[in-house]
Each structure stands twice: as structure tokens, then as C-alpha cells.
Amino acid sequence: MTNPRGPNPLVGWQVDRSQISTIGKDLQRPECILAERDGTLWAADARGGVMKIAPDGTQQLISQTVSGHFDLSGDQAQSLLTGTLPNGLAFAENGDILISNFGTDVLEIMTRDGQTRTLYDTIDGKPMGKVNFVLRDSKNRIWITVSTMVNPWSDAIRNDLADGYVALVDDKGIRIVADGFAFTNEIRLDEKEEWLYVAETSAKRVTRLRVQPDGSLTDREVYGPSSLGDGLIDGFAFDAYGNLWCTMVFADRLVAITPEGDALTLLEDGDPEQTAAFERQFASGGPMPFETLAASGGKIAPWLASLTFGGPDLKTVYLGSLKGNTIPHFRSPVAGLPMVHW
């Protein structure tokens, strides 16, 4: 089937490492990044809020209370598995920031001067679980992912567990709309908001579901390859052509699923030996030893977790990570699909 937009600009293209720049310094766990039209970036920060980075690189930590628990030079497990861990971010309609807190298992909302309150900490009267990501759509509905009910989350990095779910907040309140996912991670809507795409981290795949007018989800199916290869899918984003760019954490690969369902490798940054060790352990089933997790990853954006399109033309790609302290970025041959806040 010929794409009416012409040849795919990603076919035959790969990230040129020599053209990667960085912005931001001394960041803590910049897992998710939001970009605004004026060039401002907002990055999740393990001190308990977000780092606001101006186009000229000046930065300001915005948080109601600052936590000092995150220290990768000390106890990595303590830093990465416990305490406040702001993860997925989205802009509310009024510009406030929705924060899915992967450490405290709640959905928060924070004003741009740091005033924070909890929006949801239970669903159906029970604790929510590992709240991972949040997305707002054009109808002002809020979509939330919960990766797992297992704590610490590292024990859920296994190929035989599927206890994640997707929840929806609308004028009826909060409810679960789909479950049985293998470590639910980021979610995205396509250009017409006809399908909701779900990153199933521990299944190495993308699943999509058709969005009904009332927010219910139907026609669940795997989108693209049944396995995206080494690493585990974490974050993803659509470009304007229809490619779905995906980050493969632990192997630190960047791949794209074309509209035809093929996978293109755009960047590989992991250590081949450590990646092979991770894959052997993952294939064996059962919980992943934290030591195997900790040894994995690359150098550009260690534990590559997400990507965001920004810049005035939406052709700058920013990479989020769990272990990085800066935000790498490079130019894409195709613009990103504008998010609802753009």
C-alpha cells in the first residue's frame, strides 16, 4: 500500500552520533520530557517535581518539597526503586502539570510554581499500583497507565506477568478501561484519536485498542512486530508521517514502526555483552536480578526511556532516560505529530 505522504523519510536513515547535542545539566532521572512551542522543556526530576529548562539552557527545579534520596553514585536500587519518582508528564488544559509518580503510586497535579496535590491514589477503592504515564486527549480526558501491582517494580520485569492496566478519567470519574498488559508503559493516540497505542514493556511490543466515543476500548491487537528485539519498549511517539518511534530501555535502542508495520533500527547504544546477558536472564523467566538491570544500558541516554519531538518545526528529538543527567537531542528528517497541548 502506497503512503499518500510519499516515501518514508526514515527508510535508510539513522541517527548520526556526531550530530547529537545535549541540554540541561545535573538532572536526576529525566524520564519524561514535555516540549513547548517556545522551546521550553519540562523534565521529570527525582527530587520530586520537574526541571524547567529555558531555550538558552537556564534551568529551575520546580517542586513543593525537594527529596534528596536519588543518588546513583551510592545505592542505585534505593534510588531507582523507592521514594518519589516523577515519571510520565502531561499538561493539563490550564497549563498545570500532571505527574504520574512511579515511586509513590499516585497521580499528582502541580502548578507551574510547584504547588502539588494528589488527584488519585486509589481506583475502585484499592491502591492504584505503579502509576507510570499520563496522557490528555483533545476531549480533555485523562488516560493513565499502571505498569504493575508488584513492588518494587523491578520484580515485574519478567516475561510471565501481565497485571498492568489503562485507566480513564472523564466526567464520570476514574475507571479501568483495559487490563492484562505486560508492564503497561507509555500510551499514545494516533492523529485522529481513533486508536490508543500501549507500550507493553515486558512483552517487547506495542498493542493498540480502538477508542469508542464513551472512552471504552475495543478491537485489541498487536501493532507491528510481535517482538521489537533486544531491550524492552518503554516510551514512544508518532511522527507526522505515521512512524511510531520507540525507545528500547536496557538495550538502549531507538526503533521505529512504519505505517506498514515494519521495524526500522535508528540507533543502538547498548553494550552488546550486557544486552546479551540481560536477554538471557529475561528469557529464563522469573524476576530480573537488579544487578543484571543495573549493568545494562548505553552512554548517550543511559536506560533510554522516552523521546519527545520539539523545536519550532517539531523536528528536534529529545531523549529521556532513567540514569542520565542531561537531555541528548538531534534533528529528525520528519516532524513529530503535535501533541494536544501544542
What are the φ/ψ torsions at residue 205 (nearest 5 degrees)? -145, 170
In a 13 Å sphere around the CA of 172, the CA atoms on its Cβ side amount to 8
DSSP letter string, 162-218: --EEEEEEETTEEEEEEEEESSEEEEEE-TTS-EEEEEEGGGTEEEEEEEPTTS-EE
Domains of the chain with bracketed CATH? 18-331 (2.120.10.30)
Report how far residue 102's alpha carbon sits from residue 169's, in angstroms, rounded to the nearest whole number: 18
Predicted confidence (pLDDT) at residue 177 exceeds the cutoff of 70: yes
Report how far residue 303's alpha carbon sits from residue 12's, in angstroms, rounded to the nearest whole number: 25
Unique residue bearing C-alpha cell 488516560:
143
Pick from 35-39, 79-83, 136-140: least confident: 79-83
Report how far residue 243's alpha carbon sits from residue 246's, in angstroms, rounded to the nearest whole number: 9
| CA 277 to mean position of chain CA atoms | 24
pTM of the model: 0.95
| CA 32 to mean position of chain CA atoms | 6
Report how far residue 254's alpha carbon sits from residue 236's, in angstroms, rounded to the nearest whole number: 9
Closest of 163, 157, 194, 193 to residue 176, by C-alpha: 163
Q: What is the mean pLDDT of the chain?
A: 93
Give the model confidence (pLDDT) of 77-132 as tens digits: 665 555 567 889 999 999 999 999 988 899 999 999 999 999 999 999 999 999 99
Cβ atoms within 10 Å of 177's Cβ, excluding its own: 19
Give the model confidence (pLDDT) of 227-279 as tens digits: 999 999 999 999 999 999 999 999 999 999 999 999 999 999 999 999 999 99
Residue 315 C-alpha cell reads as 523536528
SS3 108: strand
Instruction: Say if residues 320 and 328 touch (Cβ distance below 8 Å).
Output: no
- More confident site: 249 or 285: 249
DSSP letter string, 304-336: EEEEEEESTTS-EEEEEESS-SSEEEEE-SSPB
pLDDT given for residue 103 in this prediction? 86
Instruction: Say if residues 49 and 64 touch (Cβ distance below 8 Å).
Output: yes
DSSP state of 284: T
